[in-house]
Chain A
């Protein structure tokens, strides 16, 4: 499936198309705000202040960016293998579940517990993502459908646990666990940068090394470019499919755990406000490149955080962030559609001819 979304194109075209899409989305955003009777200048100022106005705003924006971005990098890696991982949501829940169990029930020095919690969450969520990988590789099930099913299963599993076996006994019946002990919580570096943001950066660099500097990354990209050609070239297609989904799942779990240990400190059945789907949009905007996704994720984190704050200060509708996300992706598809790409190429040729340059003819 999939096809003409233009992963792996040159940096120039990538930046050009993304800019066009962002400009288009900004226009739609302005229309929505005007329709809502808001003044654009004050709105923009409120969003800007809310996103990076002061140290607190920056910290909140980074915290907002971390789970989305880490999950999105996983989604991006799966994309490059030609896989649509819509299961971020379930992977986040499963990962956070494993982490919260470790954090609550393992008694050891804080750093040790944190390390084990991170590993446990990646293993659990990796396995969860791996289910979809195995189903795709061995039985040919569409991961688009299976990951969605797994989301619901993971959600109801966590919902059951936080309303029963691991519910906070002093929580007045709310569906959440006890708070994790203080030494296990991830703090800040300085007063601004959350530890989770460092984790996010590390994940971005590691993903870049994997995708651009390793043989296995080549295989993942080859699979995404063409399954038939990859199989012909001797790539073990089922194995690469499964591993790509395991990586995607593990990063989803890590993203959830970063928020669990760093922000929320307890697992609830309203733990993830749709990060899994935001991550898909983020990976698309980052065009499947680890660094691009990192940049897109941080941008989206700041935008969302800014809009959320501006909801309180300037009555900006919070749903605006969601609309913008969808619209950017829609514009990106249009900018990468077969016909548009072809028209653009022809236009450039016309322009070249207009300048009197000879048309290049392949030998």
Chain B
């Protein structure tokens, strides 16, 4: 690929990027969130059309307009959240991808040559949305290989896997390399890249800032290349003294419509002045737990209490003055009204100031501008539509709205996902400030680094059950990793 340019509404995702991948190599694409890795690969796979640039594959110039074109040329891609049709069976999905005839036998026959090397231990009749992410990924890998793909793109596959599943995936990648195929492995995790890649290309701000032999690099050098300037981690002062329990989850169970309960007898208490981190691989109950704490959903049994009083449904929070800030995972769907100006978004907060029955426009705008400036949102213009802000600034608006009224408790779910490293630090510092002010903070995150950087105590969510919390000093990553995979290593 050379000279690839792609501009979105207000971001240049790829700015004159060139990339070369050799046959039979594992080429890692490293960069922060938003560095342009996924966009570049979506271009290669025909999901996104570049504004400019040339793609050559096996000596021929190609112009994949659709994923179908890319597959025909021999390029396949497996997304982090595999793009499979959830309500349909595995066999049907394989068939939609051009394999077999929709029946189990047909599918089995079509993938037989592949499953000798990469086993697909999946029930072909199962609905895809009932399968764990690792199996969905494997379906996609097998599907690509059966289409005789010579270049396989893996888009941050490990973020949704347990440590054990990651090992399995690496074995499969080794086998692919052994069979002469090329693999592009997208990640922002240095350790993984150092382990598996032959060469590494680092993207930063939509530009290629260098391709290196993995053997000749150190993790520290790659980190510096990825981030640009050296940045320190956030520092957690250990001086805070946790007070009494403010936010309590008491034996909460949520039964799902199908299958096992989504949450099972979860119990947890968050004290003022502490951060409890909930680690876990995505899809293990984070969502129902968050919805429970956000007041969006009721527990089948058990209660959520604040200062000893059961939480009402969220519609009554403003009226009953519940001082809990909520930072949702999906700011584009839950956090913000993208089509509305920032001042309106700020007005949706837990405790916006009163402006009288007829909103005095100037007073509202002044208050909104002050708030935006205080939280470093750019532009700090309250009439800008939320949709026109970058991801980091959107998240700052959510933080400003939720933390602006000095809440006494904070529930945050993956608050830094998709942000660049500076925005990440700012958000994390805001959470630490809230803790310093005496707020009870509950942090649900699938990013283990974030959990360990911020938390005073750490619990693990697996299969809808909570293990812990343990004081941060009493649990290490290995132990957490095993718990995340459902193995209680004692």
Query: Which A residues have a C-beta under 8 Å from some C-beta of B?
Result: 7-8, 209, 213-215, 218, 221-222, 225-226, 228-237, 342, 345-346, 349, 359-363
Contacts and interface: CB of A to CB of B under 8 A. Distances in A.
9 contacts: A218-B359, A222-B344, A226-B339, A229-B348, A234-B314, A346-B7, A359-B12, A362-B11, A363-B392
A225 B344 CA distance: 11
A221 B338 CA distance: 12
B328 A232 contact: yes
A336 B389 CA distance: 20
Contacts of A209: 358
Contacts of B85: none
Given A233-B348, A363-B393, A222 B328 contact: no
Nearest to A225: B337
Interface in B329-344: 333-340, 344
Contacts of A361: 11-12
B9 interface: yes
A223 to B, nearest CB: 9
Contacts of B316: 234
A360 B10 contact: yes
Nearest to A226: B337
Contacts of B349: 233
Contacts of A229: 333-337, 348
A339 to B, nearest CB: 12
A213 B338 CA distance: 20
A359 B13 CA distance: 13
**Band of interface residues on B:** 35 or more
A222 B361 contact: no
Contacts of A215: 347, 359
B490 interface: no
A230 to B, nearest CB: 8
Nearest to B377: A363
A67 to B, nearest CB: 29
A226 B315 contact: no
B326 A232 contact: yes
Nearest to A237: B315
Interface string B127-147: 000000000000000000000
Contact of B390 (A230, A232, A346, A362): A362
B235 interface: no
Interface in B355-385: 357-359, 361, 378
Contacts of A233: 348-349
B11 A225 contact: no
Contacts of B348: 218, 222, 229-230, 233-235
Nearest to B376: A363
Contacts of B318: 234
Given A222-B344, A346-B7, A363-B378, A231 B339 contact: no
Contacts, number: 83
The CB with the most chain B CB atoms within 10 A, among A7, A226, A237, A345, is that of: A226
A362 B378 CA distance: 8
B265 to A, nearest CB: 26
B393 A362 contact: yes
Interface in B293-339: 294-296, 314-318, 326, 328, 333-339
Contacts of A221: 337, 340, 344
Nearest to A236: B315
B291 to A, nearest CB: 10
A232 B314 contact: yes
Nearest to B314: A234
Nearest to A216: B357
A116 to B, nearest CB: 27
A231 B337 CA distance: 11
A213 B361 contact: yes
Contacts of B7: 346, 349, 359
Nearest to A215: B359
A231 B314 contact: yes
B314 A342 contact: no
B10 A226 contact: no
Contacts of B350: 234
Contacts of B358: 209, 213-214
Given A236-B315, A349-B7, A228 B333 contact: yes
Contact of A345 (B9, B12, B337): B9
Contacts of A231: 296, 314
Contact of B339 (A7, A228, A345): A7
Contacts of A8: 339-340
A232 B294 contact: yes
A101 B143 CA distance: 70
A236 B326 CA distance: 17
A231 B294 CA distance: 10
B316 to A, nearest CB: 8
B10 A362 contact: yes
Given A225-B339, A349-B7, A363-B378, 15 more contacts: A214-B357, A218-B348, A221-B344, A222-B337, A225-B340, A228-B334, A229-B335, A229-B336, A231-B296, A231-B314, A232-B328, A234-B316, A237-B315, A345-B9, A361-B12
A363 B34 CA distance: 12
Contacts of A232: 294, 296, 314, 326, 328, 334-335
Contacts of A363: 378, 390, 392-393
The CB with the most chain B CB atoms within 10 A, among A209, A231, A345, A360, is that of: A231
The CB with the most chain A CB atoms within 10 A, among B10, B295, B361, is that of: B10
A342 B314 CA distance: 36
A232 B11 CA distance: 28
A236 B358 CA distance: 21
A82 to B, nearest CB: 11
The CB with the most chain A CB atoms within 10 A, among B7, B12, B326, B348, is that of: B348
Contacts of A345: 9
A234 B389 CA distance: 24
A349 B8 CA distance: 11
Given A232-B296, A234-B315, A236-B315, A226 B389 contact: no
B338 A225 contact: yes
B340 A222 contact: yes
A359 to B, nearest CB: 7
Contact of A213 (B317, B335, B359, B378): B359
Contacts of B333: 226, 228-229
B12 A235 contact: no
Contacts of A349: 7
Contacts of B339: 7-8, 225-226
